[in-house]
Chains A and B, each alone.
Chain A
Amino acid sequence: MRELTVSYDTPLGAVRAADRISFGLRAGERLGFAGESGSGKSTVALAILRMIQPPGRIEGGEVRLDGVDLLSLADEDMRRVRLARIALIPQGSMNALNPVLRIGDQIIDALRDHEIRMSARERDARVRELLESVGLRSEVAEMFPHELSGGMKQRACIAIAISLRPRVIIADEPTSALDVVVQKQVMETLARVQKDLGASVILVGHDMGLMAQFVDRLGIMYAGRLIEASPVRAILTRSLHPYTRMLIASLPSLEQKGTFNGIPGLIPLLRDLPPGCAFHPRCPDAVDRCRTERPGLREVRPDTWAACHLV
């Protein structure tokens, strides 16, 4: 992805939900996009799949999958890319299941939409195989969504997402509505299917603990901008950007009791961003340059990127 920019038209002017985002996803890698509200992380996920609806639009940039720019594809070609090459496990996907269709039928729906020709027996076998791979019993194919628990529904969504063996799986906050015990199972399922498929995963979320334990590389977003991107170990032990540092410091630990260190101030409204670096009003290390000049994302060390004047 290079210089991807997504804006939304509001009565008060255009607002940049994602501002010149650039990153690369390697095969088989787990990449995380972390950020708080308004950071633009979900926007980036939707933009990759060209699922941004008006009043939002992709203003510029390119998104290449195996060299092909997805943003320049015809609608019909893009439709074929969705699910078959890039799959999405949407936010609140438990509500993305059709309540009046059985789970098995919903999986078959996806297969049929992509003109996969199979005999009825082959189809049923494939459905059973998919359900097994996400740890669901084959009886689930005959069940309706409301008969399943939250975790089971989420795993059914994963089954649909992997049904066409995609190269990339985008998971947008897949576990935010789930209990912590169920969350672990769902993430374990996701890890397993990823390994089986050899696919890459983009995990979008706000839970830094989840990112720390699941992803290989992590990108931190703030106010629509990518402000740091590095291997996750580096971010946890030696983060570069003050926002990342303060964010990690604010996380409550289970090791020992300490003081509460929040980040003072407020996340800026996208339509009212401060000039220069978006974080400077809240940054304890801000200098004059931060107030006027917006820092670009630079490779500070090998494979370690940060958008800050001070590193």
Chain B
Amino acid sequence: MGYLRRNLSLVVGIALLSALGLFVIIGHLVVDTSKSRPLSAPAVQAPSLAHPFGTDRQGRDLFATMVAGTPLTLRIGFIAGMLGVGIGAILGFASAYYRGRLDAVVRGVVDIGLTVPGLLVLILIAVSLRRGLTVNQMAIIVASLAWLNPARTIRAQVLSLRERGYVEVARLSGMSGSEIIVKELMPNLLPYLAATLVNSVSSAILASIGLEVLGLGPIDSPTLGMTLYWVNFNAALINGWWWWWTAPITIILVVFLGLFFLTVGLDEIANPRLRRVI
């Protein structure tokens, strides 16, 4: 408990994300999420008791839309982030520990891959898949590039760890390479992996929202990005339908702030030098 009091960022991050979680859970109990489909309510209504967040031009109840869409957006981010860190970790550990040709190949792919503008690649992929995208397909598309950065950073961490005395002692005690990776190296990197995961989730959400705003997302889903797409499509800003864009933007803000504080908090755990006491 005392530690939590010192690590304010962690607390704030968890608080923000928990608040969002509560919003979604309670929201699901309170409202009928089918109302997030078009023609569920009279169009372009300002917020009222019947429609706390108002409605949009296609007649979607925006409260229902937010409640239904937030978990979808988060899910994309989470799946893509997990896939990204998962693949990145496997490749990062393996290439850093075994070195040699595997390392050369992975390093080459990562170095080149990271120079390519990610959003551009994602757009090209999304465009070429002409049929409507599902939420899961979105996740996989984003994940296809999400593993590059984790692979590089995890590799860097493992490269320094593998020189430690205890790794040599483990080798001399008869442990195999994969055993050393799993039993000796990974436990020491758990905090770092957690921080990388949160980072990865953050970027994945951003990428997916980016694609959706451009209209390349799952058109029928009420995700946050798609809502913003419709905001643009219908010129909600100019028309003064402020409730339509404040809702998704506020939620996106909360998501990113929460993830940011969580990252800072986890970074402090992962890097003992940032800690304030012994």
Contacts and interface: CB of A to CB of B under 8 A. Distances in A.
A11 B278 CA distance: 8
A57 B274 CA distance: 22
Nearest to B2: A11
Contacts of A11: 277-278
Nearest to A11: B277
Contacts of A10: 278
B166 to A, nearest CB: 22
A11 B276 CA distance: 11
Interface in B54-97: none
A11 B3 CA distance: 12
A151 B278 CA distance: 34
Interface SS of chain B = loop
Contacts of B278: 10-11
Interface residues of B, number: 2
Interface of A: 10-11
A10 B278 CA distance: 8
A11 B277 CA distance: 8
Nearest to A10: B278
A11 B5 CA distance: 14
A10 B277 CA distance: 8
A204 to B, nearest CB: 24
B262 to A, nearest CB: 25
B207 to A, nearest CB: 40
Interface string B246-278: 000000000000000000000000000000011
B6 to A, nearest CB: 11
| 3 closest residue pairs by CB, A with B | A11-B277, A10-B278, A11-B278
Contacts of B277: 11
A12 to B, nearest CB: 9
A173 B159 CA distance: 32
Nearest to A12: B278
A101 to B, nearest CB: 26
Nearest to A9: B277
3 contacts: A10-B278, A11-B277, A11-B278
A11 B6 CA distance: 13
A11 B275 CA distance: 13
Nearest to A55: B277
A238 to B, nearest CB: 42
A252 B234 CA distance: 88
Interface in B119-139: none
Interface string B159-187: 00000000000000000000000000000
Nearest to B277: A11
B3 to A, nearest CB: 11
A39 B139 CA distance: 59
A84 to B, nearest CB: 34
A122 B88 CA distance: 60
A272 to B, nearest CB: 15
B5 to A, nearest CB: 13
B125 to A, nearest CB: 46
B122 to A, nearest CB: 42
A286 to B, nearest CB: 32
A121 to B, nearest CB: 46
Interface string B91-130: 0000000000000000000000000000000000000000
